[in-house]
Structure 1
Amino acid sequence: MRKVSLPSILRYKKSYLRHDIITALLIAVVNVPNALAFSVIVGLPPETGLYTTIIGALVFGLLGYSHRLVVGADSATAILLASGAVLVAQAGTPEYVNAIAAMTLLSGVLLLLLGLFKFGFLADLVSRPVMIGFMAGVGVQLIVTQIPALLGLKASGGFWSHLASITTQAGSINWMTATLALLVLGVVLFWRSSRIPSELIGIAMAVVFAIVFHVDTYGVEFLGSLPSNMPNLIVPTVSLEMLNTIMPTVLSIALVVLVQSSMTARSIGSEHDDKIQTNQDTAALGIANVASALFHGYAVSASPPRSQLADSLGMRSQLSGIVASLAMMALIVFGGTLLHYVPLAALAAIVCTAGLRLIRFRELHYLWAVHHEEFMIALVALACTVLFGVQLGILVAVAASLMERLRRQYHPDDAVLLRDGELSSWAADRVKDKIGSLPKDTLVYAFGESLFFENINYFAERLRRAIHRAKHPVTYVVIDAGAIDDIDYTAVEALKRLYRELGEDGIAIAFAHVSPGLRSQFDIYGITDIIGSRNIYTTLSLALAHQKQASAIEMIRDLKIASDSYIVVGGAVLDMMHLRDTPNVDLVVSREVYDRFARKKHWREVTLTSGKRILVHEQYNLLKSWMGNSLTALQRDMQTIDGIPVVSTDRLIAAKRKMARRKDLADLELLRGHIKRRN
């Protein structure tokens, strides 16, 4: 039986402490307004959102494997709970509260079973376009259901009931409530990029506005003081009739938690070379949901925006989540009265901004531009979620996706055709007489199926394993694409990420047996512009006879950029020091240079999983900043190699230490040896 990996907290290092404590306090500040706001969605007292986030983060912090997942109350699961509970009882009644707890408990048990029996792979069966459409539909639902609260109107029920209430009560709008809500909306949206959480700024300004203008005299409702004690243990009751009613919602909640948490863990983990244990995290989330249900909470999930924020703040482990929970617990026990003057309209405004974040306009536009079929799947998911509710919406979307991909296999046949200078028997019959000596640093890998959302992670895993098992260091990988005749958006994004990761390891990628149809898709999706047309071949023999690319110095000079408008960073500096080869050249350039190249044909602006945008073309990456430093800052202590400005060795060493991936640690050894030889 396979051993369970140690949770994040048991793999702790003392060096994490300062980063985790600072991150924890900032995350606690962000969690409070969001937890209060999401309780409004569910239809429960505001303090239940705090209970949910505290318990969820504590339990996952003790059991979860992923270092950088922030777990707590979530807008998508909140609206799923509300839509399911109204089928059982009216909001505000004990039966409604019991239904919420029952659905949370059952979804937790289901997640626990999925994790224990290693069904985490189900997350791979839901494509990104489906999730984009579904989450956009949830966002629309959130916004519409909060409009009455923004205008000071009364409404209950689902999407259509809220629309009807807005229409019939249009003459009863409380304009002071609407003004205050508009203020919070503007503040949160305007300060989205601020170092201080914009939700906190919005709440603070709403409180000041309410006190100064005595808005309670105009009928504006306040949150009121919170209970100063932690919740008691409760056990929800479930009848057979209730189970039949809520089971579709329970399945939807479990699916959303599984997919959203898995995608978030992979996205952030890939930035740090972290190992991903989806099954273990799923089981931990299941236990967290069970615990939340037993202590007056509701469903918890990993939050993509808060996880990304925590990662950017320097979160190193789940200690951050545990400390943040303790800080929120202290707020309940000692500071519940501090939230008395928070207007309910301010919380509704925060919910609306959460809904806007769920609508990924950029990705929807991208899908429309490059792959109409997948855009339509996303649109079906969005429309069904809005028109028929979140439960039916996600079921229809998933069914459409699975039917469209039914003919594709999840784990196709694959093979290593060349490794360590030895050809497989299949490859030897076809190319042995067409090429000369076989290089030992080259690996040829063949994949037996088109690349789609359901098999791209398997493809990347198998390729990395083939590289890892080579006896000689691999510097050149040829992917035999003879069986690859199609590729989707999810696979494209993963392939771009794989290309960047291997490039940082000094490994170049080429494709052989590329059909005209696949080449056309490479052109449309921008893969050709990123890896370079010279690395795409019609035959395997041509790929193996490739010419070694120019040195980093030659490539930089070919760009013809003025020396005061750029600086070389990353692995290219080691190439210029003759410490190791690298297929990619990273440069931080001035705004003028960046804009000039952005207008050139074949240069593409891409968004990394961290949210950072860079300009790419073949082996070039143009950046506006590096490790948080602008071009001007980097030029203060820059060095030059053959007249080319490069980042200082001290900065390069500091960056490698901070990222601390396997390849960075190897580079550190090379840099230390270089310094010793120089001295």
Structure 2
Amino acid sequence: MQPTSTWRHWLPSLPVLQWGRAYNRDTLLGDGVAALIVTIMLIPQSLAYAMLAGLPPEVGLYASVAPLLLYAVFGTSRVLAVGPVAVVSLMTAAAIGQHAVAGTPAYWAVAITLAFLSGLMLLAMGLLRLGFLANFLSHPVISGFISASGILIAASQLKTLMGVKAEGHTFVELSVSLWSQLGQVHGLTLAIGAVTVGFLFWVRSGLKPLLQRLGMKPRPADVVAKTGPVAAIAVTTWLTWALDWQGQGVKIVGAVPQGLPPFTLPLWDLGLWQQLLVPALLISVVGFVESVSVGQTLAAKRRQRIEPDQELVALGASNLGAAFTGGFPVTGGFARSVVNFDAGAQTPAAGVFTAAGITLASLFLTPALYYLPQATLAATIVVAVLSLVDVSIFRKTWAYSKADFAAVLATLLVTLLQGVELGLVVGVAVSLALYLHRTSRPHIAEVGRVPGTEHFRNVLRHAVVVSPQVLGLRVDESLYFANSRALEDRINDAVASRPALKHVVLQCSAINDIDASALESLETINHRLREAGVQLHLSEVKGPVMDRLRRTHLLQDLGGRVFLTHFQAIDQLAPEVAHA
């Protein structure tokens, strides 16, 4: 074997090696333009989300460098932009608020520890290929949780927009505290915040069409529109300095340290780790679900795909990188990833260029942020998170599934009234409880033959032919411990009400699995039917299910037979029905 072959054999199969080999000048141009746009967007977002998490604004910049670099090496999405996001920042503040006072070095140290634990969990889940665990978070629950978090985040920023002091971690606490402070509203601060909010909303929807009407091409117009938050920061910062708004009571960001992200270590306190395990797990799962959802959506548009388990590894590495460079928990952001996609990013190298841009901003631009009003950053957060609120999910779930509507409503209300962690746990619990309730009462249809065909359909929905001596039942669920008793009851009722019954045929076309409890139920059904002079038959049993049944005594003790199709069963047991 040649040395190069040996090297390739031992070389890790990293995603960066797949897209790196085909990198060219055109790809570089697309990644460079996208990185410029995302950097402009990410700088104000990073500052704002760090303050939302209760951390100094520069921490947001620190959390946007190493994670981007590490995701470029390990991530499978070509356009996902990793960094601080609103929901994870809120969950971070809720998780560490009880361990330290916001804004203190101790608080920052706990945030670093939380990122470290989250990174370890994500990395372990990826190596163990546990990406499927995210499936327990249904879309309605995630939608309700993110919508409630958006409302909660917006409410938490009202105190900064109003220039008052308000406390509370729930929507009710915040509302009551803000109401009591209405008489203390700082007029100039409120004006800055309100005008900035209005401007940013207009920039999102109105600036690009206006520029195009003025003759600008779509691509440059889109780039200019994305600079709206930067323009708001620049203008309000200059006005604060020029008009001495600080002296009139407007709160500013103040001195932002200048320099590269520092090397930091988590706190090696096992007691603290135990208290942070559950919050770290919730942050990890929510971040992973949000990241994978965005990544899969954008990858599908280019006929690409991502690997969920590898994404766990990439996000784990990104959070570990954040922990060792003074950051806090991060994940793939929806807004910046969409912007990255629309701007023409072709590979994760766009993230590398974005990290370089953030580094330059940390080195040279932070002194210019001294006079930045905190109300401007609050306005940036409010505009960003209100786009997360999905009101339509309530109408859709109410019309389609009352159970999903109940899960959405429960998640939203508990998140608003009790906090983000309990809200997410309750949402998952309600979803699982509703699933167990629904599957414990499976749809069991009596089927008959559609005349002139070999198809069998529900006797309540179609004009079909049946025999009084044969009962055909189709169970539309897998059989497991929670619903096996329902099948027993249905068959017992049929035997008691049909004196002429001689055969029961279970059509198993919808049964994907039979657990041990359900197997015992089938054995009990077979025994009772035999004592009553009735034979139990099976039809259309799927291969994997049959493989497991062959390892049991059920098929040996079965009173009847196993038929390949339901039509064959009826042809043998009730020929007058099969040929009617």
User: TM-score scaled by structure 2?
Assistant: 0.68
Q: What does residue 217 of structure 1 align with?
A: 247
SS state at 2:63 partner: helix
Greater shift in the superposed pair: 210-219 or 83-92: 210-219
Q: Aligned letter for 1:327?
A: G
CA contact (8 A) 1:103 1:250 kept: yes
Q: What does residue 16 of structure 1 align with?
A: 27
Equivalenced residue count is 425
**Correspondent of 2:109 among 93, 98, 121:** 98
**Correspondent of 2:14 among 2, 6, 14:** 6
- Structure 2 residue 332 is the aligned partner of structure 1 residue 302: yes
- Structure 2 residue 407 is the aligned partner of structure 1 residue 399: no
- Structure 2 residue 232 is the aligned partner of structure 1 residue 202: yes
Q: Please list, as runs of the form range in 1=range in 2, the aligned pairs for 1:286-365 lying within 5 A after superposition.
A: 286-365=316-395
Q: Please list, as runs of the form range in 1=range in 2, the aligned pairs for 1:649-668 lying within 5 A after superposition.
A: none
Q: What does residue 148 of structure 2 align with?
A: 137
Q: Please list, as runs of the form range in 1=range in 2, the aligned pairs for 1:259-658 lying within 5 A after superposition.
A: 259-406=289-436, 430=454, 483=510
- After superposition, the C-alpha distances for 1:501-530 in whole angstroms (9 at most, x for unaligned) are xxxxxxxxxxxxxxxxxxxxxxxxxxxxxx
Instruction: Tell me the distance in 2 between the aligned counterparts of 1:225 and 1:127.
Output: 43
Cα 1:450–1:71 change in 2 (3 A) is farther
CA contact (8 A) 1:9 1:319 kept: no
Q: What does residue 655 of structure 1 align with?
A: none
Cα 1:152–1:270 change in 2 (3 A) is same
After superposition, the CA RMSD in angstroms is 3.0
- After superposition, the C-alpha distances for 1:121-148 in whole angstroms (9 at most, x for unaligned) are 1122211100000001111110111111
Cα 1:334–1:201 change in 2 (3 A) is closer
Q: What does residue 183 of structure 1 align with?
A: 195
Instruction: Tell me the distance in 2 between the aligned counterparts of 1:185 and 1:329.
Output: 28
Measure how far apart 1:224 and its partner are. 2.8
Gapped regions of structure 2 (runs ≥ 5): 1-8, 209-221, 440-452, 456-474, 479-507, 512-565, 568-580
SS state at 2:231 partner: helix
- Structure 2 residue 262 is the aligned partner of structure 1 residue 240: no
- After superposition, the C-alpha distances for 1:259-297 in whole angstroms (9 at most, x for unaligned) are 111111111111111122111111111011011012110
Instruction: Tell me the distance in 1 between the aligned counterparts of 2:11 and 2:413.
Output: 43
Measure how far apart 1:222 and its partner are. 1.7
Instruction: Tell me the distance in 2 between the aligned counterparts of 1:161 and 1:337.
Output: 36
User: TM-score scaled by structure 1?
Assistant: 0.59
Segments of 4+ in structure 1 off by > 6 A?
1-4, 448-451
SS state at 1:358 partner: coil
Q: Please list, as runs of the form range in 1=range in 2, the aligned pairs for 1:108-147 lying within 5 A after superposition.
A: 108-147=119-158
Q: Aligned letter for 1:357?
A: S
Measure how far apart 1:450 and its partner are. 7.5
Measure how far apart 1:351 and its partner are. 1.2
Instruction: Tell me the distance in 1 between the aligned counterparts of 2:94 and 2:49.
Output: 14
Instruction: Tell me the distance in 2 between the aligned counterparts of 1:53 and 1:408.
Output: 44
CA contact (8 A) 2:287 2:331 kept: yes
Instruction: Tell me the distance in 1 between the aligned counterparts of 2:259 and 2:342.
Output: 33
Q: Whose radius of gyration is greater, 1 or 2?
A: 2
Measure how far apart 1:90 and its partner are. 1.9
Measure how far apart 1:164 and its partner are. 3.9
- Structure 2 residue 281 is the aligned partner of structure 1 residue 251: yes
- After superposition, the C-alpha distances for 1:147-166 in whole angstroms (9 at most, x for unaligned) are 11110112345235533431
CA contact (8 A) 1:9 1:318 kept: no
Measure how far apart 1:403 and its partner are. 2.2
Gapped regions of structure 1 (runs ≥ 5): 410-428, 432-447, 452-480, 485-538, 541-679
Q: Aligned letter for 2:373?
A: P
Q: Aligned letter for 2:146?
A: M
Greater shift in the superposed pair: 197-206 or 293-302: 197-206
Q: Which structure's relative contact order is higher, taking Cα pairs within 8 Å and 6+ residues apart?
A: 2
**Correspondent of 1:173 among 161, 167, 185:** 185
Cα 1:119–1:175 change in 2 (3 A) is same
CA contact (8 A) 1:181 1:349 kept: yes
Identity %: 28
Q: Aligned letter for 2:134?
A: A
- After superposition, the C-alpha distances for 1:297-317 in whole angstroms (9 at most, x for unaligned) are 001100112111211111111
Cα 1:43–1:125 change in 2 (3 A) is same
